[in-house]
């Protein structure tokens, strides 16, 4: 039997691996995805924890709803359907305030709720921006923030001329001042959002963009993190794994080959180029060597890719050290899914960790509580009086 040969070999069939495979196959390249598990999807998993109770143990929310890929890869044609939440989130404080924040589809509910508890006309910067921009404007801003290719490293640009500030100025000229460009998100919240619980919530939600809310100059990306959640505010129908299926169907329809039970043990490097991969012995694929004419793309974690699959003999020592120095300590994300037989009436939850999500699954309802420690004394002990 001949060695298998493709233009592109992708290691890992999570949603990043299968998405890149779908795009490259659509561009006419021959592509193969090698996935070690019996099912692709990675963190986009859906499982039946108990008969009748399906949960997403990892990714739950799809906040990439503004991404161009949904249209470009025609995911709706391949079965993807989004279920949008009528309300994005709720806020509960220790002194018994419970506010419904509404969200993109229910903005009036959010404002009414804030009005009731603050006693004043609420200033909800995110809500005001959402309302002023409208859906199309918000999609444009989110695309400028999160779906713009990085600039070449020698390309100089004034921060205020970054694509996201250009879109912001165009959409919201009445809110624009030069000062915004240097602000951190915390500066912005202190100035524009007068209610502490909402400030804490927004600072928490900002982590979706990856930038810490106290970093100078990151006000708009952080705000974009909260808008990302507001604009998406939903899940794929049938759970996250159905999203993975739609991407995989798109990849296959465009000609990609997806091979499961195929753990890659080594990325083969010749003359400084990745030219193929070696599968482990127990891989189900008959050929243990798969060659790549153009590129091997690793869609698995950076440490495994460089220290294990490529191997340090092919890499610069200082680069290997940088990879080793990548630390995952100090930040972790986990989802706790709790199945309860009855609605909770009074539950006390003591929280000592950083950010914590608790999912309460009651029959087919999923309730997610999020806690942040922006104001730790407010949130360290929370009474959920009624679910």
Ligand X SMILES: Cc1cc2nc3c(=O)[nH]c(=O)nc-3n(C[C@H](O)[C@H](O)[C@H](O)COP(=O)(O)OP(=O)(O)OC[C@H]3O[C@@H](n4cnc5c(N)ncnc54)[C@H](O)[C@@H]3O)c2cc1C
Interface residues with ligand X (CB under 6 A) are 11-17, 34-37, 42-44, 58-61, 63, 263-264, 299-300, 304, 333-335
Q: Which is nearer to ligand X, 166 or 303 (CB)?
A: 303
The residue to which tokens 């490097």 are assigned: 269
- The two three-digit tokens of residue 61, written as one number: 């929310």
- Distance CA(221)–CA(336), nearest Å, equals 28
Q: Is 139 helix (H, G, I), strand (E, B) or coil?
A: helix
Q: Which is nearer to ligand X, 15 or 114 (CB)?
A: 15
Please, what is the minimum distance in Å from the beta carbon of residue 3 to ligand X? 18
Q: Which is nearer to ligand X, 14 or 197 (CB)?
A: 14
Please, what is the minimum distance in Å from the beta carbon of residue 138 to ligand X? 18
Strand boundaries in the chain, DSSP class E: 4-11, 31-34, 47-50, 53-55, 82-84, 90-92, 98-100, 234-236, 257-259, 264-270, 273-279, 289-298, 335-339, 347-350, 356-362, 365-371, 381-384
Please, what is the minimum distance in Å from the beta carbon of residue 56 to ligand X? 8
- The two three-digit tokens of residue 312, written as one number: 């340090």
Report the C-alpha dihedral over residues 233, 239, 242, 244, rounded to 10 degrees.
Answer: 70
Please, what is the minimum distance in Å from the beta carbon of residue 315 to ligand X? 18
Q: Are 60 and 335 in contact (CB under 8 A)?
A: yes
Apex 62 CA angle, 58 and 64, nearest 5: 130
Q: Which is nearer to ligand X, 65 or 171 (CB)?
A: 65
Please, what is the minimum distance in Å from the beta carbon of residue 94 to ligand X? 26
- Distance CA(224)–CA(210), nearest Å, equals 10
Please, what is the minimum distance in Å from the beta carbon of residue 36 to ligand X? 4
Q: Which is nearer to ligand X, 370 or 387 (CB)?
A: 370
- Distance CA(133)–CA(329), nearest Å, equals 38
Q: Which is nearer to ligand X, 192 or 243 (CB)?
A: 243
Rg (CA), the chain: 23
Q: Which is nearer to ligand X, 263 or 387 (CB)?
A: 263
The residue to which tokens 């592509």 are assigned: 31
Please, what is the minimum distance in Å from the beta carbon of residue 182 to ligand X? 30
- The two three-digit tokens of residue 341, written as one number: 């037989």
How far is CA 91 from each of CA 97, 98, 100, 377, rounded to the nearest angstrom? Answer: 8, 5, 6, 15
Q: Are 288 and 278 in contact (CB under 8 A)?
A: yes
Q: Which is nearer to ligand X, 130 or 290 (CB)?
A: 290
Please, what is the minimum distance in Å from the beta carbon of residue 314 to ligand X? 17
Please, what is the minimum distance in Å from the beta carbon of residue 100 to ligand X? 21
Q: Which is nearer to ligand X, 196 or 282 (CB)?
A: 282
Q: Which is nearer to ligand X, 38 or 177 (CB)?
A: 38
Please, what is the minimum distance in Å from the beta carbon of residue 13 to ligand X? 5
Q: Is 71 helix (H, G, I), strand (E, B) or coil?
A: helix
Indicate the DSSP class of residue 207: G
């Amino acid at each position: 039997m001949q060695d298998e040969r493709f233009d592109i070999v992708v290691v890992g069939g999570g949603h990043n691996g299968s998405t890149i495979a779908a795009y490259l196959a659509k561009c006419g390249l021959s592509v193969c995805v090698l996935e070690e598990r019996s099912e692709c999807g990675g963190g986009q998993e859906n499982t039946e924890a108990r008969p009748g109770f399906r949960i997403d143990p990892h990714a739950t929310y799809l906040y990439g709803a503004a991404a161009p890929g949904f249209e470009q890869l025609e995911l709706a044609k391949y079965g993807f359907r989004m279920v949008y939440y009528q309300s994005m989130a709720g806020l509960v404080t220790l002194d018994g305030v419970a506010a419904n924040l509404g969200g993109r589809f229910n903005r009036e509910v959010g404002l009414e709720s804030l009005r009731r508890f603050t006693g004043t006309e609420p200033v909800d910067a995110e809500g005001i921006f959402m309302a002023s921009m409208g859906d199309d404007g918000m999609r444009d801003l989110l695309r400028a923030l999160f779906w713009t290719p990085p600039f070449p490293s020698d390309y100089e640009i004034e921060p205020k001329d970054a694509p996201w500030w250009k879109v912001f100025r165009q959409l919201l000229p009445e809110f624009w001042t030069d000062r915004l460009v240097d602000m951190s998100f915390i500066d912005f919240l202190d100035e524009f959002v007068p209610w502490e619980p909402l400030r804490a919530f927004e600072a928490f939600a900002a982590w979706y963009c990856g930038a810490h809310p106290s970093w100078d100059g990151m006000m708009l990306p952080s705000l974009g993190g909260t808008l990302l959640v507001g604009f998406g505010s939903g899940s794929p129908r049938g759970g996250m794994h159905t999203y993975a299926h739609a991407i995989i169907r798109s990849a296959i329809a465009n000609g990609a080959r997806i091979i499961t039970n195929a753990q890659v043990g080594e990325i083969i490097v010749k003359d400084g180029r990745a030219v193929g991969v070696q599968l482990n012995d127990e891989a189900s694929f008959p050929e243990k060597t798969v060659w790549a004419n153009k590129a091997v793309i690793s869609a698995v974690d950076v440490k495994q890719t460089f220290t294990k699959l490529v191997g340090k003999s092919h890499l610069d020592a200082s680069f290997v050290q940088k990879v080793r120095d990548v630390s995952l300590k100090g930040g972790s994300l986990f989802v706790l899914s709790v199945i309860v037989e009855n609605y909770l009436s009074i539950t006390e939850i003591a929280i000592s960790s950083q950010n914590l999500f608790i999912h309460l699954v009651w029959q087919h309802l999923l309730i997610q509580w999020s806690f942040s420690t922006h104001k730790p004394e407010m949130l360290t002990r929370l009474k959920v009086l009624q679910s």
